[in-house]
A and B are shown apart, each in its own frame.
Chain A
Amino acid sequence: MNPEPSVFTGGGRLILGGVLAFLVGGIALVVGGVAHGRDAFYAYLSAYAWLVSLLIGGLIFLMIVHAMDAKWPVALRRVVEGVTGVLPLAVIGFIPIAIGVSTIYPWTSPSTIHEHEVQRLVEHKLPYLNTPSFFVRAFLYFGVWLGISYFLRRWSLRGDWDPAVTDKPRFRVLSALGLPPVALAFTFAGVDWLMSLTPAWYSTMFGVYWFAGGFLGALALLVLATYGVQRSGMLTRIGSSHYYALGRLLLAFTIFWAYIAFFQFFLIWITNKPHEASFYAPRMKEFASLSILVAAGRFVVPFFALLPYRVKQQPATLAPIALWILVMHWVDMEWLVMPSVRAEGPIVHWVDVAALVCVGGAALAFGTFRLRGRPIVPKNDPSLEAAFRYGSV
């Protein structure tokens, strides 16, 4: 009927480009590490937090879609599975953080903290914040994420070979039961990996903040990946309604992120207690320009850009906004990491960019590689036809 290729075979240039970016970024990161020491670890942590939040955001999107038995995302499901397929790489990517844990996190050696009160507070938190339990928890998080993404992917691919196998109820049960552990692991990972950079500080909103940014970034990544696949001549039946659906979610989660970000700041600002304010103090002084960039880049610009109806319908206008959101998510990670660890600046180091190129390139190459040779849609899914025909006002 159609000459459209149903199996994803391309991506050779993407893989090559990804590997090249990984090598160039990696070399720059190592060079930066030799020259600037700690900065390379911070740069890597920020890029790594960016990647993991995107992957888990994608996983949560996939699980919500399965749990709700949603129709239209079935057309995009293989693309989402392509995103979550990068998760095994994230486990390997944790190694540099494991190596640098005593360099990155101040709570690993409370005795070196100068402020007496902060030191006592960190000592008080030692039963939770200590190196062995940090690794055990990281192990648990990856176990939950990898386990669930592995089965969702496996069942989905199995349906391609054997049309008789219908795993719909399994998908639903695993996703519905798996969402709370995945979300909890995500929240705790945010606490462990990012919030503990300022060990005396705490915010109950922090996990939600990280999730809101990551989920938004994952949606943006989905727009870009779908557009990319379409540009190479596949998924031609995905139309303006699908992009409009993704665009609406982008707008909704841009607003959600702004709500979370503002109220986390607002409550701490108006209470003005020293330990709570310690997180925002450097961000309102030395890093004020970065804070303004995050607020404008994550909310003001995408919010007004996404308001018009037509913009969300056409991939040609939606994709640049998605790219912007994706980059701004990284800037947001910089904003979370850098003021906590190098309060004296610089705001953005060139090593940070090298780390982003390295991590992003590796993920791109790995994700594309795992998608190769697979059907680009779950071709035997009973909802596939309805998903393609999805139309909205």
Chain B
Amino acid sequence: MRRSQQSGIVGAFDTPEEVIRAAHELRKSGYRRLEGYTPYPLLDLERAIGRGRSRIGFVVFPFAIAAAAIAYLVQWWTNAVNYPLDSGGRPAHAPPAFVPATFEMGVLFASLSACIILAIWSGLPALWQPIFEVPGFDRASIDKFFLAISDRDPAFDREAIARTLKELGASRVEPFGVHPATDAELDERLERAEGEES
């Protein structure tokens, strides 16, 4: 699980090959807090930024087991303890009859917990992140590939990263999550963005 990045530097790349190579190079030179933003899933990029397999299964499993156990207990308590009914001479505590509901509850809570945990781990309630303010970032869902380095990275060095990203083929390098110091700087950045779009 990773928190979304609050501030750092982001580079825009034109092709998936470039962004994957850049991520590899940055990992090799010691950067650890990398994040990729791409129009479609890039498995190799996920691997390159050091993201392993999701651990969601390990959280879902106990939920499923607990829900199944509770479902069985509820059935046992209502049918065999609280209000036993004789139906055709079958035992009040009838394990085979309890299995379907037990299984269904396990599946239900497994999927519900997976859904909710996925939302939480993706930071979903937050509808805005600082990186959205980077001019042209909307093209991360169209045709550009972004690679961000958080300033909480132990190896973070603004100048060095900006230079490296340029060398690795980034068509643009922008800081994010830092407020422009002056109005003039804001104007400059907006103009630059407009100039590039036109």
Contact = CB atoms under 8 A, between A and B. Distances in A.
Q: Do A and B bind each other?
A: yes
Interface of A: 262, 265-266, 269-270, 272, 307, 309, 393
B88 interface: yes
Contacts of A266: 96-97, 99-100
A307 B61 CA distance: 10
Contacts of B88: 272
The CB with the most chain A CB atoms within 10 A, among B43, B61, B96, B99, is that of B96
B97 A270 contact: yes
Contacts of A269: 96
Contacts, number: 18
B53 A309 contact: yes
B53 A270 contact: no
Contact of B96 (A270, A307, A309, A393): A270
A191 to B, nearest CB: 24
Given A309-B53, A393-B43, A262 B99 contact: yes
B107 to A, nearest CB: 11
Contact of A272 (B53, B61, B90, B100): B90
Contacts of B96: 262, 265-266, 269-270
Nearest to B88: A272
Contacts of B57: 309
A24 B88 CA distance: 52
13 contacts: A262-B99, A265-B96, A266-B96, A266-B97, A266-B99, A266-B100, A269-B96, A270-B90, A270-B96, A272-B88, A309-B53, A309-B57, A393-B43
A266 B94 CA distance: 11
Interface string B22-62: 00000000000000000000010000000001000100010
A255 B196 CA distance: 56
B39 to A, nearest CB: 19
A266 B90 CA distance: 13
A262 B97 CA distance: 11
4 smallest beta-carbon distances between A and B, as pairs: A269-B96, A266-B96, A309-B53, A270-B97
Contacts of B53: 309, 393
A265 B100 CA distance: 13
Contacts of B90: 270, 272
A307 B99 CA distance: 20
Nearest to A263: B100
Contacts of B99: 262, 266
Contacts of A393: 43, 53
Contacts of B61: 307
Interface string B84-109: 00001010000011011000000000
A4 to B, nearest CB: 28
A307 B110 CA distance: 14
B154 to A, nearest CB: 29
Interface string B73-89: 00000000000000010
A309 B53 CA distance: 9
Contacts of A272: 88, 90
Contacts of B97: 266, 270
Contacts of A262: 96, 99
Nearest to A391: B43
Interface string B119-131: 0000000000000
A17 to B, nearest CB: 40
Contacts of B43: 393
A272 B87 CA distance: 12
B54 to A, nearest CB: 10
B90 to A, nearest CB: 7
Contacts of A309: 53, 57
A269 B88 CA distance: 12
